[in-house]
Amino acid sequence: MSSPVWTHVLRHWESMGLLVPERVAGRRRYGTDDLYRVAMIMRAKEAGLSLEAIREMFAAADPQARRQIMHRRRDELRQRIAELRTSLELIECALDCEHADLASCPHFQALLAERVFGGRGTAET
């Protein structure tokens, strides 16, 4: 895993029903399946899913229900990626701009108008 998972985080995930580690002499024992589940939770969180959304996926009663949930989450993630790409384009344009006031740069204005105003031209339209 890329970063450590603190004990209190594991306990929180357990309280939400995301993890159910085995108990041996009152102590939690995390097996291989638990470690994969932790990795799944971490990846889902990196993708921007809430713990509630992750719990919904884990709680799906059958593969078809899980697929429906995953399709919805995939579509949401694709939308977020598209929005982030647009933001990155604007930042890269701003980095290349030599104008003292970025808001007066015609190239930046055109790119911004395309993104914000849906290609309708400028703020006046």
- Kindly indicate the confidence band of residue 2, based on its pLDDT and cuts at 50, 70 and 90: low
Q: 69: how many CB neighbours lie within 10 A of its CB?
A: 16
pTM of this structure: 0.66
Nearest 10 degrees: CA dihedral of 37, 39, 41, 42?
170
> Which range is least confidently modeled, 13-17, 81-85, 104-108, 115-119?
115-119
Crossing angle of helices 32-46 and 51-58, in 10° steps, is 130
CB contact set of 112 (below 8 Å; sequence gap of 6+) = 90
Question: What's the pLDDT tens digit per position in 6-37?
Answer: 999 999 999 999 999 999 999 999 999 999 99
Residue with tokens 């799944």: 40
Q: CATH 3.90.110.10: does it fit domain 7-92?
A: no
pLDDT at 46 over 80: yes
Would you kindly state where each structural domain of the chain is located, as residue ranges?
A: 7-92
